[in-house]
């Protein structure tokens, strides 16, 4: 009986690892009136083993912009490290994220990152850290313990 439970648990783990993950990346486009708006690009990929690995795959895919959509995120941004514990996500990114200027671009970039992260239902808070710079972006925005509730209010 004990052996059957172990085999069953191992099989479940293999099935989970073979499963695919479906989530969203967010980019920008212009409508017929020339207004910029965010749009959702749904992607599917093989389960990476756990939520943190799935999030890392998703964010790096957003940063790499493989589909060549318009993105407010500067080129060359990479994830240095990531920590996901009980719904709280801390992401340290390369200083390449600082290669832009202007408040509007900063707001658009932060919105793009937050929309992509909060597409994962498990995420409750997000902190963005910048390599060698701490938490402040070029125009002074800080994403420190940003909550899902704050995000939902922001997009209303």
pLDDT in tens, 89-132: 999 999 999 999 999 999 999 999 999 999 999 999 999 999 98
Has residue 3 got a pLDDT over 80?
no
Has residue 17 got a pLDDT over 80?
no
List, in order, residues 6 or more apart from 141 with CB less than 8 Å away: 106, 107, 110
Sorting pLDDT into bands at 50, 70 and 90, what band is 40?
Answer: very high
Task: Identify whether 30 is part of a domain.
Answer: yes
For residues 32 and 67, the answer to whether their CB atoms sit within 8 Å is: no
Task: Identify whether 7 is part of a domain.
Answer: no
List, in order, residues 6 or more apart from 137 with CB less than 8 Å away: 97, 98, 106, 109, 110, 130, 143
Task: Identify whether 35 is part of a domain.
Answer: yes
Task: Identify whether 28 is part of a domain.
Answer: yes
Residue span of the structural domain in which 120 resides: 20-155
For position 2, what pLDDT does the model report?
63
pLDDT tens for 47-96 read: 888 899 999 999 999 999 988 899 999 999 999 999 999 999 999 999 99
* Lowest-confidence region among 33-37, 54-58, 122-126, 134-138: 33-37
Sorting pLDDT into bands at 50, 70 and 90, what band is 6?
Answer: low
Predicted TM-score of the model (pTM):
0.84
Domain count, the chain: 1
Looking at per-residue confidence, does 36 or 117 come out higher?
117
Task: Identify whether 3 is part of a domain.
Answer: no
Task: Identify whether 126 is part of a domain.
Answer: yes
Task: Identify whether 49 is part of a domain.
Answer: yes
Q: How many CB atoms lie within 10 A of CB 11?
A: 10
For position 118, what pLDDT does the model report?
97
Task: Identify whether 5 is part of a domain.
Answer: no
């Amino acid at each position: 009986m004990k052996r059957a439970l172990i085999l069953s648990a191992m099989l479940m783990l293999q099935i989970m690892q073979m499963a695919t993950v479906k989530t969203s990346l967010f980019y920008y486009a212009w409508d017929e009136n020339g207004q910029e708006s965010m749009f959702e690009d749904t992607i599917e990929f093989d389960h990476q083993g756990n939520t943190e690995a799935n999030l890392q795959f998703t964010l790096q895919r957003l940063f790499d912009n493989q589909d060549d959509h318009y993105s407010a995120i500067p080129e060359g941004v990479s994830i240095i490290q990531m920590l996901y514990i009980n719904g709280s996500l801390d992401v340290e990114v390369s200083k390449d994220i600082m290669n832009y200027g202007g408040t509007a671009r900063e707001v658009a970039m932060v919105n793009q990152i937050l929309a992509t992260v909060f597409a994962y239902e498990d995420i409750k808070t997000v902190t963005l850290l910048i390599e060698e710079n701490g938490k402040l972006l070029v125009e002074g925005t800080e994403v420190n313990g940003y909550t899902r509730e704050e995000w939902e209010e922001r997009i209303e």
